Amino acid sequence: MNEDAVVKVALVSCGSEYAGVHGELTSVAESVNAKLVYPEIEIDILDDIGKDFGIEAASPDLCLMMARAKAVVEGLSDVDGVFITSCFRCAEAAIVRNEIRRYINKHSDLPVISYSFTERTTAATLLTRMEALTTIARRRHLLAREKQSGLTAGIDSGSTTTKAVIMRDNEIIGSGWVPTIKVIDSATEAFNQALEEAGVKQEDIQAIGTTGYGRFLIGKHFGAKLIQEEITVNSKGAVYLADTQKGHATVIDIGGMDNKAISVDDGIPGMFTMGGICAGASGRFLDMTAKRLGVDITELGALAVKGMEQNVDMNSYCIVFGIQSLVNSLAKGSTPEDVAAAACHSVVEQIFEQQLQEVDVKEPLILVGGSSLIEGVPKALGELLKINVLVPPNSHLIGAVGSALLASGYVEE
Amino acid sequence: MAKVIIYPTNSLILSDLVQRFGHTPLAMMEKIKEKVTTVGVDSPPMNITAEEPKHGLKYAAVEVPAGVRGRMAIVGPMIEEAEAGIIVGESPMAFGCMGCARTNELTKYLIRSREMPLLELEFPKDDDEGQEFVYRIAEFLKSLDEVKGESEEATE
């Protein structure tokens, strides 16, 4: 597919036009040069779709969703990706939405995103997801890249920290990691750290890739050849660092502000989910826990592996209540080790409850992002899912590595 | 002449029947037409914005999905305006459909809660039932004239 071509995204939805979010969906699609299309169906199919698909839903619009999903899978509708969406808090729709997502993923190689909206959902909320969906359709050739070549840089401007790497001929030769304060200043500092360690000058760099929340700003500032959302970049970086580029993998990225769970096939994301109900499920909660315990964030993991989460009743569903539980536990005499373990468990439990239901977890499970360095987090995740959790080397630099790797596609071009 | 709310609220057949007997159907089509032709609002396809689910809070609490509340923002005022109602149950989608089972439940409940003449009947399964279906609706609609006439006399 041509990079400038309009990406056709099948909208498989229930209620979006009545919830007042339709304008936002259209707007976000247009912003990434995509067009929402409604898969055409024969009206008669609706009479039997419940039995054909297997879910006899009471809501006719959900039957319509199943019929449209079938039209997509059977190739009756020519589309490049699928956006499945329904109302937040509707149990019936959640069941259908989830099964449609699995059905399309099983029977086609189309990228799929699933999202439950409220009337407050905005185009900005959906931008990263829609950008990722169109990238997978539009830049599949780039995402198939398995080796870095030339001298490239990747900068990941995250909500909490900014990371930079310099790569040469498939090796990381320099890295930088600083807290994000002023977006451009922090990126410059991280980039300079990486350049210094690598012993190269900025003008020698053949291509720069940027990702993260500040990707557009820093991308423009540094003249990046690749400005890319973090879902595709991080999944690419994860399978590259974990050396699992072929076959299935699941990537979990616990970020400072939100989390991503991505189901990857041959290095290309298939299904993914992003977000969380509250910051209680993100790295921010671990950061606040460390501060309350009076330890550096880098020491929290070692503390957590010595503790027993069962000894502390903690629910970080909301970051405010989570901190309240933490304070109460300490006041009752809980040890810092147990509190640290409970905080790690609480974060991964929320990821399990809120996000891992939206993707199919297939081994290897690769945990990345700054939180993966807190030993208590992979331990808690492994215990919860009863599988081995793989934390690749440089897992905190995932976005920067993915950007440098993908940017090298522009060196040869 | 009475204002008659129909269910399914977008049934063309029911709307037509009500009109043929000289009454005013309260149907979704008219309301959507009003929405679509409203000048100054540009939110295709139906010009429903995030305001509608907020207006729908009058009929359903915030924990009810936005799609239900958005629909209720249109259907709810029609139910309040109605002087009589016809509810057809078990109908196929082609007869009319609101898309959402939860909205259907709430709509039917609110129509039933109004103290007004109400006809409830099942969708016919064969020709005989079809004739009986139309006959019952016709009789109901004719009866509305009498009820309306009596109440107007009483008022005078």
Per-residue pLDDT tens for A281-290?
778 888 888 9
What's the Rg (C-alpha) of chain B? Answer: 16
**3-state secondary structure at position A165:** strand
Inter-chain touch B69–A119, beta carbons under 8 Å: yes
What torsion do the CA atoms of A118, A120, A123, A128 make, to the nearest 10 degrees?
Answer: -70
**3-state secondary structure at position A85:** strand
Question: Among the CATH numbers 3.60.15.10, 2.40.10.10, 3.40.1410.10, 3.30.420.40, which is that of A151-231+398-412?
Answer: 3.30.420.40
List per-residue pLDDT tens for chain B, 156 residues long.
899 999 999 999 999 999 999 999 999 998 888 888 877 777 777 888 889 999 999 999 999 999 999 999 999 999 999 999 999 998 988 888 888 999 999 999 999 999 999 999 999 999 999 999 999 999 999 999 776 666 666 655
Nearest to A88 among B65, B71, B92 (CB): B65
- Residue among A24, A144, A5 at smallest CA distance from A79: A5
Within 8 A by CB and 6+ apart from A188, the residues are none
Q: Please confirm whether the linkage preceding B92 is cis (ω < 30° from 0).
A: no
- Residue among A40, A29, A26, A24 at smallest CA distance from A6: A29
Q: Which amino acid is at A216?
A: F
Q: How far is A175 from chain B (nearest CA, A)?
A: 45
Measured CA to CA, the distance from residue A213 to residue A282 in angstroms comes to: 15
pTM: 0.83
**3-state secondary structure at position B80:** helix
Measured CA to CA, the distance from residue A79 to residue A68 in angstroms comes to: 12
Angle of helix A22-31 relative to helix A123-138, nearest 10 degrees?
A: 40
The answer to whether A151-231+398-412 and A246-391 have equal CATH topology is yes
**3-state secondary structure at position A159:** coil
Q: B112-140 burial by CB neighbour count: b if 16+ within 10 A, else e?
A: eeeebbbbebeebeeeeeeeebeeebeeb
Domain range list for chain A: 7-138, 151-231+398-412, 246-391
Q: pLDDT of B106-142, one tens digit each? A: 999 999 999 999 999 999 999 999 999 999 999 999 9
Which residue in the block uniquely carries the two structure tokens 């539009």? Answer: A138
Nearest to B48 among A17, A59, A61 (CB): A17
B65 in contact with A, Cβ within 8 Å: yes
B60 in contact with A, Cβ within 8 Å: no
B67 in contact with A, Cβ within 8 Å: yes
Domains in chain B with CATH codes: 3-155 (3.40.50)
Q: Looking at the domain A7-138, which fold is it?
A: Rossmann fold (3.40.50)
Q: Looking at the domain A246-391, which fold is it?
A: Nucleotidyltransferase; domain 5 (3.30.420)
